[in-house]
Amino acid sequence: MSKTLRIRFWAGVAVLSVALTLLVASLLANQSHPDTASTARDLGRRVEKRLALLDRFATQALTSDPEAWLRLEDLPEDMVVYRYREDTLQSWAHQFPLRNDDIRSRTLIQRLGDGRSNMASPLSALTSAVTYVNYGPKWFLARSLREGDITVIVGLEVINELKSSPFNGVNPQFRLSDRYTVQPLTGSVGVPVVANGQPVFKITAETVSEPERINVFLFWLSIVLFLFGTILLLRVKPSVPAALAAGLIQTAFIGGVYLYGRQLGQASQLFSPLLYADGPFFYSLGAVVLVNLLITTLVLSLYTIRWTLLRRFRRKDSRLRDIVAVVVDLAVIVAICLYIHRAFKSIVFNSGICLELYKVNLIDGYTAVVYLSFLALALTIPLLFQLLSPLVRRLTGFRYDMFSRTGRLVFAVVAGAYFAVASSLLGFQKEKNRVEVWANRLAMDRDISLELQLRAAEGAISEDSVIGALSLLDNSHDMIRGRLANTYLTRISQDYDISVVLPTPSLATDVLFNERIRSGIRLADNSHFFYSTGTNGRAQYSGLFTYFNPNYGSSSVFVLVESKSNREDRGYLSLLGLSEPGRVSIPPYYSYARYVDDHLVLYKGDFPYATVISDRFRQLVGTNEEGSVVLDGYMHFVQAVSEGERVVISREKTEILNYIVEAVLFGIVAYLLLTLLGFRPRRNRSGERNYYRTRINVVLYMSLILTLVAMAAFSVYFVYRRNNADLQSIMTSRITTLQSMLQGGLRGAATEDDLRSQAAKTAVEIAGNDLKCDITLFTPDGRMVLSTTPEIYDRMVAGCRIAEEAYYSIVLQHRRFSIEQERWGNRRFYALYAPVLNANGNMVAIVSTPYTDQSYDFENEALVHIASIITVFLLLLMIARVVTVAVIGRMFRPLSEMGRKMKVSDVDHLEYIIYDQEDELTSLVRSYNLMVHDLSDSTRQLAQAERDKAWSEMARQVAHEIKNPLTPIKLQLQMLIRMKQAGRPGWEDKFEEVSATVLEHIDILADTANEFSTFAKLYSEEPVRIDLDALIREEVSMFSARDDISFQYYGLEGAAVSGPKPQLTRVLVNLVTNAVQALEGREDGQVVVSLRNSVKEGFYDIVVEDNGPGVKEENRAKLFTPDFTTKSHGTGLGLAICRNIVERCGGEIGYSKSFTLGGACFTVRYPKLLK
């Protein structure tokens, strides 16, 4: 096993070990028995620190100037400080949610019938000892400190039931786990928490329900790591059996987790059917994610063994087998695509998860989980296509690479388009279904449950003598309302506004009687209550009760019952999430209208509905009277609820830019994921170091990133500032308008009793209805006196005092208005305050209203803007990356070419650089080209000189070779002549011997002459068209008969050249002969001849390789020099002649070491035949 494989193996083992460890840890994380005692001790120490901090603020309140307003600007939100002077509240910082903050230890006389007054003051019972007390929805640790006539009451918030986070509502500063709850010391169970030696409250371990039975992060991290570890181990030995084993292990593991998730149920959010469920298979969102992970991992395992599979296919060249494999692979791709769409559609329709990314305010962590799992699953599609690439190329010749830039771009476009279109279309269909439900609910006018309760209570109300007596008194409507709410209509008062009107001879009373009683519908025969609809189309109930007194005669009482959403859910109740009973809660960015016989009878929202349905609108909707149309920049959903009755629900049309941004964002993520999946570190083939180019790339890229980030940040900041300015302008206009309206209605008010009068109440109600907002009036000393939503003070949701910052700004700094950001539970909102002046210019009240208008969501618009900027930023960044790399590469190309060409060892192959730009590099390129020209001339001259010298040496050698045989010939002939002249016997026999010697030396002279005759033919033979592939194949086949040497030829069909065929044949024969001679005496000799397209445009490469010893390094420079040979019987002219032949034909010849065989490698680069 190689080092790389060993690293992969141990890395896989380590990842699997970590995964299993994390899995066990996640399962046991919340299973241990809670140590309540230890937790109570730790909590006691944290409570002591908070109390010590609170005591410092209490000391500051006691020692500071009692005449000045107490400003504790750094007081934490969970602390409350009240300062009294002689039992009168002088300053306060934050508030207790109390209706009565008096500290006088006396019983208060409750107003008759007033359910809002308390019999005693809760703060009067506090002492210097820390006490755990309950005020409304909150629990405090409170105490009272006194010094002289100054009394300071402080409180530390422990529980806020209005908060949904943390789960148990405990103060986050205490860092108490959700597994524990806090109880008073009077509780029967629990461990006391001791602070400063005193038990303050108890904590109890919650065992009935837990938010999560597992550690979610560790649980899913372990699953991913386990699957990743199996892939790492598979890469060690990527075989079919190993892949099957890995697939079985992955399936078994995911199957086990799948079954365990079914048991978890609601104990884990991802496996809870309340979040998502669609049948027994897709029983939760966690089940879908597990299936997606399993499919993704199985495909990754298959892709890991792709080369093993391809080698099996190559062993048997079966076209049918290849076609079957392609069809199966395509079938799997289609199946995965269908599954993606089916599962994605199921999640859209069977869960509350928002998958439309342009609805930024609705997306959450589950949206990210869904898209990450489906994008991971979508990555299997390019992997399966890449698996097909070799088979498709073999079947059709078509080449593609899914990891190329084009392949990644195609996948990104398809993935981005699909997820954007699918989420939009499916989300729109889901919205239509939801709107249909809303429309049917809006069509239900009457509240049957309310009517039954009114019928049950009206008999007792009509016989109540106390109400009859109160009806004879002036301004007794509040007392009557209190008695009704506390005695008869307790349940109704929790969900409805109950008001009482005492009829007086006036136009307003006549109008009220005509609208509510005379035009109303009696609930039943002899019933005191009537049903009617208001001007806004909402249902309202009115009761008329008449009482008789023997001394004062008869009196009447109007009881009005209206839903708390009569201001269209824009007020304090919307902050608490309350809406009209029996009505569906429609998001504020929707408007709706109800038409009866084409006439408008009910509406809400910002869209200006027509009072009568127009012909154009009717034509757009169509004859079926249902559907969706786009009109005036709004999307309208029309639903027929009964004959002649239609409900129209509208919202602003989604801009096309939002869909484009969503698609681009999906495409960018898909592109980056596929790039990461196919990432391979680049190896510099040339061995060059490009640090300088990299530094410039980094500098330009970072400059671009910083520029784009700065522009994006400035744009976001500008949008934030603009939205904030718009919001401030709207709120200023709202409070100014409200101030003007109330000053007109309260011009004659001078005392607190005037603020409690019917006239003041009427003025407040009119202003609230006109502005569609809640209104609260405070006295000049900051006490609440009148509110359109009194139940928030009755239930002690809010304190009875004005916010301290608003009081300081208006009363002490005399500002015209004040806008403060306040918080109820987890909801933050703006509260608007302004003084109300009477006719004399004196401040008689301070008006407050919450700004809860959500028809235009500034935060959502800012988030959409930020998301659009980030998406465009990422797109520009990717484009800029490609452009900068291309530009810098082009800029450095002359330098790179210069370096590459200067490194060529053979100076004969130096090339010019073509650079058509006029810039700083032009002079350098020209100098280089001039140097190449001069060097080429010098090289040619030197080469010619060397050749002349070589030919001179060869000429002397040839002369010597010629002279050597001539001398014995001359001597033999001279001897024979002398023998004949002398008449010696046997000279005839000697003649035969001399003739043989002469002929032998003449053959030697002929061979030498033939070598030189080749050069003459180079200038005389005409070039002809040559089928180069056939020529090489023919010449190689002539040598293949040898048993000790194996010959292989890799040809290229259709390769045609032009040249002298005999000379080219001589070159091939010479090169192959040299290879054969180099293998003499070897039993495993190999000669490989290849014909291929050259890397140089317009040329073929003829490569002859062998596994012989090759040419020594010191001899390579002289290899093509005449008279050089490494063979004992060679002439030294073969390779020199080959070089001359090739160069005369416009080609090149060179030598290198064979990388595959290890011996010699001769490459002939020959020009192609021009078509």
- pLDDT at residue 208 is higher than 50: no
Contact 151, 89 (CB under 8 A): no
Provide the pLDDT for residue 586: 80
Residues 6+ apart with CB under 8 A from 138: 96, 97, 157, 158, 159, 160, 161, 162
User: Which of 579-588, 787-796, 949-958, 1149-1158 has the highest mean predicted lDDT (pLDDT)?
Assistant: 1149-1158
Provide the pLDDT for residue 116: 45
Q: How confident is the model at residue 961 (pLDDT cuts 50, 70, 90)?
A: low
Contact 233, 13 (CB under 8 A): yes
The Cα–Cα gap between 598 and 952 comes to 116
Of 332, 391, 381, give the one whose Cα is nearest residue 399.
391
Provide the pLDDT for residue 213: 64
Provide the pLDDT for residue 112: 44
Q: How confident is the model at residue 1130 (pLDDT cuts 50, 70, 90)?
A: low
The Cα–Cα gap between 865 and 713 comes to 11
- pLDDT at residue 693 is higher than 90: no
Name which of 304-308, 459-463, 710-714 the model is least confident about: 710-714
CATH numeric code, 684-903: 3.30.450.20
Query: Is this structure's pTM higher than 0.85?
Result: no
The single-letter DSSP state of residue 473 is S
Provide the pLDDT for residue 901: 62
Contact 1111, 1160 (CB under 8 A): yes
Per-residue model confidence as pLDDT tens digits over 228-257: 999 999 988 888 999 999 999 999 999 999
Q: What residue has token string 């993935």?
A: 415
The Cα–Cα gap between 736 and 742 comes to 10
Provide the pLDDT for residue 908: 57
Of 1101, 1120, 1108, 1115, give the one whose Cα is nearest residue 1154.
1108
The Cα–Cα gap between 846 and 835 comes to 4
Contact 265, 272 (CB under 8 A): yes
The single-letter DSSP state of residue 843 is E
- Please report, for the chain, how many H helices and E strands are present, in that order: 29, 30
Contact 847, 775 (CB under 8 A): yes
Question: What sign does the CA torsion over 577, 583, 584, 586 have?
Answer: negative
Q: What residue has token string 């969503």?
A: 662
Provide the pLDDT for residue 418: 96
Q: How confident is the model at residue 75 (pLDDT cuts 50, 70, 90)?
A: very high
Contact 339, 295 (CB under 8 A): yes
Name which of 29-33, 171-175, 190-194 the model is least confident about: 29-33
The single-letter DSSP state of residue 1111 is -
Residue of 717 and 387 predicted with greater confidence = 387
- Stretch 901-915: mean pLDDT: 61
The Cα–Cα gap between 657 and 85 comes to 62
- Stretch 531-558: mean pLDDT: 83
Contact 280, 261 (CB under 8 A): no
Per-residue model confidence as pLDDT tens digits over 545-564: 999 888 888 889 999 988 76
The Cα–Cα gap between 344 and 423 comes to 8
Q: For 1074-1104, give the DSSP string.
A: HHHHHTTT-SSEEEEEEEEE-SSTTEEEEEE
The single-letter DSSP state of residue 746 is T
Average of per-residue pLDDT values in the chain = 83
Per-residue model confidence as pLDDT tens digits over 583-631: 567 887 888 888 888 888 778 878 888 888 877 777 776 655 567 888 8
Provide the pLDDT for residue 410: 93
Provide the pLDDT for residue 106: 47
Q: How many CB atoms lie within 10 A of CB 344?
A: 21
User: Which of 565-569, 763-767, 980-984 has the highest mean predicted lDDT (pLDDT)?
Assistant: 763-767
Q: How many CA atoms lie within 13 A of 505 on its CB side?
A: 0
- pLDDT at residue 265 is higher than 60: yes
Provide the pLDDT for residue 111: 44
* CATH top class, domain 922-1013: mainly alpha
Residue of 456 and 703 predicted with greater confidence = 456
* CATH top class, domain 1024-1167: alpha beta
Tell me the one-letter amino acid at 414: V
Q: How confident is the model at residue 864 (pLDDT cuts 50, 70, 90)?
A: confident
Residue of 317 and 36 predicted with greater confidence = 36
β-partners of residue 937 are none
Q: How many CB atoms lie within 10 A of CB 97?
A: 21
- Stretch 431-449: mean pLDDT: 82
Q: What angle do CA 230, 231, 233 make, to 5 degrees?
A: 65
The Cα–Cα gap between 539 and 447 comes to 8
Q: How many CB atoms lie within 10 A of CB 320?
A: 7
User: Which of 357-361, 885-889, 939-943 has the highest mean predicted lDDT (pLDDT)?
Assistant: 357-361
The Cα–Cα gap between 1115 and 1122 comes to 13
Name which of 146-155, 256-265, 1005-1014, 1149-1158 the model is least confident about: 1005-1014
How buried is residue 158: exposed, middle or buried, by Cβ count under 10 Å (0-12/13-18/19+)? Answer: buried
- Stretch 248-277: mean pLDDT: 89
Query: Is omega for the bond preceding 166 within 30 degrees of 0, making it cis?
Result: yes
First to last CA, the chain: 53
- Stretch 455-481: mean pLDDT: 88
Q: CA dist 903 to 233, 839, 892, 1150, Å?
A: 43, 99, 17, 16
Per-residue model confidence as pLDDT tens digits over 1006-1017: 766 666 665 555
Q: Where are the beta strands (DSSP E) in 46-137?
A: 79-85, 88-93, 131-135
Q: Collapse the DSSP code of 316 into the 3-class scheme (helix H, G, I; strand E, B; otherwise coil) and give the result.
A: coil
Residue of 259 and 1082 predicted with greater confidence = 259
Of 810, 852, 814, give the one whose Cα is nearest residue 831.
852
- Stretch 51-59: mean pLDDT: 95
- pLDDT at residue 956 is higher than 70: no
Distance of CA 279 to the CA centre of its chain: 29
Provide the pLDDT for residue 915: 65
Q: How confident is the model at residue 685 (pLDDT cuts 50, 70, 90)?
A: very low
The Cα–Cα gap between 127 and 147 comes to 13
The dihedral formed by the CA atoms of 93, 94, 98 and 103, expressed in degrees to the nearest 10: -20
